[in-house]
Homo-oligomer: A and B are copies of this chain.
Amino acid sequence: MDERTGLPVVAMVGGGQLARMTHQAAIALGQSLRVLALHPDEPAAMVAPDVVIGDHRDLDALRRAAVGAEALTFDHEHVPGELLSRLVAEGVTVHPGPEALLHAQDKLVMRRRLAELGEPVPAFAPVSSAADVDAFAAEHGWPVVLKAVRGGYDGRGVWIVGDSGIVDELLEAGTPLMVERRVELVRELAVVLARSPFGQVAVYPAVETVQRDGINTEVLAPAPGLSEDAAEEVGELAIRIAAATGVVGLLAVELFETPDGRFLVNELAMRPHNSAHWSMDGAVTGQFEQHLRAVLDYPLGSTAVLRPACVMANVLGGDPVPTTGPDERLHHTFARFPEARVHLYGKSERPGRKIGHVTITGDDMDEVRRRARLAADHLATGVWTDGWSAH
């Protein structure tokens, strides 16, 4: 509780862009987010006054972040569960709790749990040797998908392989592995919801997520052409997973849509998620405020969309990093697209790095997508990819 305001304090582990945007949302709720950051120059630490510098793998740092906070929550999934269990035992309110969060930390735990629940997942198996992979492929066919059980993101930790040649090397390097059937898919979708300790759930409309080289480039909200029945089916799937895992806060369920109209769960995340950034500008309640409301057990906000079409395009650092500065590129982007909602994270530029996102809302999905993509690419590279010139 902040004695000055009579309003709660939420502490977030991690100082990245998710914490940065959560602080933005906290301001409207009369709060100021407490951030546990590794460095004072991390995206959230540059914009919030209440920053604890420390490592998320250090129990004492976590304790310092949690002191006096109504809830401790996360910008990422990298806090070891045993430390969180210690904090819970010491009386800290941790949302999501360690048992729930494990499903977002360990892909094998998640797959096994969903399979037990009878939820649709790709065929999978644990891997402790190359022979395990060969046996799996003998049943399901090559190529197969190898995944690091822990720690992968944005396409890292995933290998599509036609033989088991790299398996022993990865295992010897200490990467715990699992293998999955390679799913034939027509596209990827995501459903994000919030769940409160009380058990209230609020689901955002299902979105289509577009990837390039394993990195999300655009999110289309709501998912174009998804039938009402299918939207309800995936929404209910996400609600069942939320209830079964006991997640508190946001849950993102990434899905494969298959050619025969099925939806398989690919990944889970239990924090604000890139696939719901659109909600900041395209829904009544943005995901960052919703996450705070959920972890504080506030009644959840409306997830209704404001306009028929909304596209979020990630700004991925140009390769090579452009010679024009970000300020100049921002000028040009705003000049061409006065309707663009730009969110910059204060991160230094590296090729492929997510340094911001752009959201555009409107009536026509194709047109909104075209504009959002152009704006995001220009912010990243200083180039209009459609050859447009202002001169």
Contacts and interface: CB of A to CB of B under 8 A. Distances in A.
A346 interface: yes
Contacts of A284: 338-339, 341, 361
A338 B306 contact: no
A4 B42 CA distance: 10
B46 A4 contact: yes
Contacts of A26: 47
B306 A28 contact: no
A391 interface: no
Contacts of A331: 298-299
Contacts of A346: 4-5, 7, 30, 32
A20 interface: yes
A327 B49 CA distance: 22
Interface in A299-355: 299-302, 304, 306-307, 325-327, 330-331, 334-335, 338-346, 348
Interface in A12-42: 20-21, 23-24, 26-30, 32, 41
A356 B27 CA distance: 11
Nearest to A329: B6
A3 to B, nearest CB: 10
A98 interface: no
B7 A327 contact: yes
Contacts of A334: 293, 298-301
Given A7-B326, A346-B5, A47 B48 contact: yes
Contacts of A6: 325-327
B306 A307 contact: yes
Contacts of A24: 24, 27-28
Contacts of A344: 5, 7, 28-30
A51 interface: yes
Interface of A: 4-8, 20-21, 23-24, 26-30, 32, 41, 45-49, 51, 202, 284-285, 293, 298-302, 304, 306-307, 325-327, 330-331, 334-335, 338-346, 348, 356, 361
